[in-house]
Amino acid sequence: MEYRTLGTSGAVVSNYALGTMTFGAESDETTSHAVLDDYVAAGGNFIDTADVYSTGVSEEIIGRWLKAHPTERDQMVVATKGRFPMGPGPNDIGLSRRHLNQALDASLKRLGVEHIDLYQMHAWDALTPLEETLRFLDDSVSNGKIGYYGFSNFVGWHLTKAVHIAKAQGYAAPVTLQPQYSLLVRDIEVEIVPASLDAGIGLLPWSPLGGGWLTGKYKRDTSPSGATRLGENPDRGMEAFKPRNAQERTWLIIDAVDEIAKARGVSMAQVALAWVAAQPAVTSVILGARNQTQLADNLKAAKLVLTPQEIAHLSEVSAPAWADYPYGTGGRDQRHRKIEGGR
């Protein structure tokens, strides 16, 4: 396992994190604890959860594992999130001081810890002034409840605004952003990746396998079936399958991943994960595994280093069809500058 700093902080995390959204939902406690054991045995030290995952059950499962493993507990970097509803009331949601104060204390209790290493705002809240949220987070760093904070599902201007408000007010700065990112979903490269690089923000990509598409589980024009996310609910699965199936880009990407996987003697998942891990600003790629078998295969990506030619090929076939302006060729040409006669 490779280790990287958490954004501009001094905290060090493995470049593959363990996502625990399945804990308490698709994975029972025994399976979840076995997955945690295997992840740590492979050198992983970064656990990502959220209060809304199984309405707190994921955090409780992790908390009981941490209590049963005091030695490992000291080595783990634990991240959780708050923002989404945890009750029926109008203040049981959002990024207000009122809600976050309750949400953070509840997460600490469920995890059985006095301090959370990384506390993430799960999504933007258009109703709460960003200054209010950042002041709460700064206070929480000061009083020792959290070590660092970050965001999830923010767009470029959200992130940049937060960075500059924190700097202007002398607050602790954000260190991470958790966006969706994969060979199939690369839209963050337009604004979010440049904004993150500019601010020294570390990216923690979720859904790096495109919801299972990049593992080779789905076949062109064939209804999803079996133990797959789309196959478990045929009606909803087919509804979600059709739009991506209809895009030729989807199958060009899958074919390219499959070609490299066969040439290297590895799984398609490992190739797709290795591509994400090699992208600029990425600190740690979040692995979601229902069981030990899935995790074992995904963790092998930590030993896979794609060649520059393989990365370039995957990047080329997966390039999004952005509109010409301002993100397409015309817009990029207008922003480009080089010194004539220079190197």
Active site residues: 53
Length of the chain: 343
Pairing of strands 146-152, 116-121: parallel
Q: Which of 89, 94, 152, 167 is nearest to 118 (CA)?
A: 152
Distance CA 284, CA 276 (A): 9
- Sequence-separated (6 or more) residues with CB below 8 Å from residue 96: 125, 127, 128, 132, 133
Q: What is the DSSP letter of 172?
A: P
Distance CA 127, CA 148 (A): 24
Distance CA 247, CA 254 (A): 12
SS3 content of the chain, % helix, strand, coil (to 5): 45, 15, 40
Distance CA 82, CA 342 (A): 50
Distance CA 334, CA 290 (A): 46
Neighbours of 200 (CB within 10 A): 15
Residue 6 · residue 202 · CB < 8 Å: yes
Residue with tokens 């891990």: 277
Cβ burial, residue 330 (10 Å; 0-12/13-18/19+)? exposed
Amino acid letter, 239 = E
Cβ burial, residue 164 (10 Å; 0-12/13-18/19+)? exposed
